[in-house]
């Protein structure tokens, strides 16, 4: 992570995360931003937030290139709407630090210079890569073409096989050269999966 001094770039409707050491990460949407004061609506109401008025919270704005984490303090909360005053402290978190979510998606992986690979499915995805079921014993270091079928259309990228998964037939592939628009689509998909998991945990 690296400290940065960029001013907040929040606009109404943006998807963000609210982070607290006690609650973890809560998906949210910007309702209004006025200088250092932002109002966010939680994707899933959490009654524990009421106890954190006056405590530290961070607001995270993310895209395919990284996350900007703005430190701040929770000033008020009402019906899942939080008013947060930002402190000016900002960290940039690189893409490799993004959360990984479980997801079974169709994906095609083919060697760039070798006739290896084909169609398979993912086991999980992140902003920096994915883990797939490897039916071909792809070697580590192999450069590949990746076509990942997201719900809103395919994502195409170069990639490299960089690790063996928990099982012998699993391989981790790092993205190399995802287009900016596709990075943003991927992060929206990951955020949606996080929201679904959070709702499921609340209903359990």
pLDDT (tens digit, 9 = 90+) per residue, 116-167?
999 999 999 988 899 999 999 999 989 899 999 999 999 999 888 988 887 8
Domain match, 73 and 135 both: no
Domain match, 112 and 90 both: no
Domain match, 89 and 116 both: no
Domain match, 8 and 87 both: yes
Does the predicted model carry a pTM greater than 0.85? no
**pLDDT-derived band at 34, boundaries 50, 70, 90:** confident
Buried residues in 92-107 as b, exposed as e (16+ CB within 10 A): eeebeebbbbebebeb
How many domains are there within the chain? Answer: 2
Could you say which of 65, 96, 127 is where a domain stops? 96
Which residue carries 């701040």 as its tokens?
72
Question: CA 43, CA 91: separation in Å to the nearest integer?
Answer: 23
Range of the domain at 62: 2-96
DSSP string of 44-97, one letter each residue = S--GGGGGGTTSEEEEEEEETTEEEEEEEEEEEEETTEEEEEEEEEEEEEEGGG
195 within some domain: no
Question: CA 198, CA 41: separation in Å to the nearest integer?
Answer: 15
pLDDT at 98 over 70: no
Domain match, 172 and 112 both: yes
- CATH no. for residue 57? 2.30.110.70
Q: What's the token pair of residue 180? A: 């900016």
Q: Measure CA 169 to chain center.
A: 25
pLDDT of residue 176: 80
Could you say which of 38, 69, 96 is where a domain stops? 96
Domain match, 92 and 106 both: no
Domain match, 77 and 144 both: no
């Amino acid at each position: 992570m690296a400290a940065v001094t960029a001013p907040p770039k929040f606009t109404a409707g943006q998807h963000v995360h609210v982070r607290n050491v006690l609650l973890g990460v809560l998906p949210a949407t910007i309702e209004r931003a006025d200088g250092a004061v932002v109002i966010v609506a939680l994707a899933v109401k959490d009654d524990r937030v009421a106890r954190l008025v006056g405590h530290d919270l961070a607001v995270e704005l993310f895209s395919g290139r990284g996350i900007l984490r703005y430190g701040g303090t929770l000033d008020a909360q009402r019906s899942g709407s939080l008013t947060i005053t930002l402190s000016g402290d900002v960290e940039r978190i690189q893409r490799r630090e993004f959360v990984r979510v479980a997801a079974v998606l169709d994906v095609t992986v083919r060697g760039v210079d070798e006739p290896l690979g084909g169609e398979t499915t993912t086991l999980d995805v992140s902003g920096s890569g994915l883990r797939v079921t490897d039916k071909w014993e792809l070697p580590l270091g192999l450069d590949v073409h990746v076509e990942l079928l997201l719900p809103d259309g395919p994502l195409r990228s170069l990639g490299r096989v960089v690790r063996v998964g928990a099982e012998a037939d699993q391989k981790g592939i790092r993205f190399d050269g995802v287009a900016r628009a596709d990075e943003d689509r991927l992060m929206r998909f990951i955020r949606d999966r996080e929201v679904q998991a959070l709702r499921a945990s609340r209903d359990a």
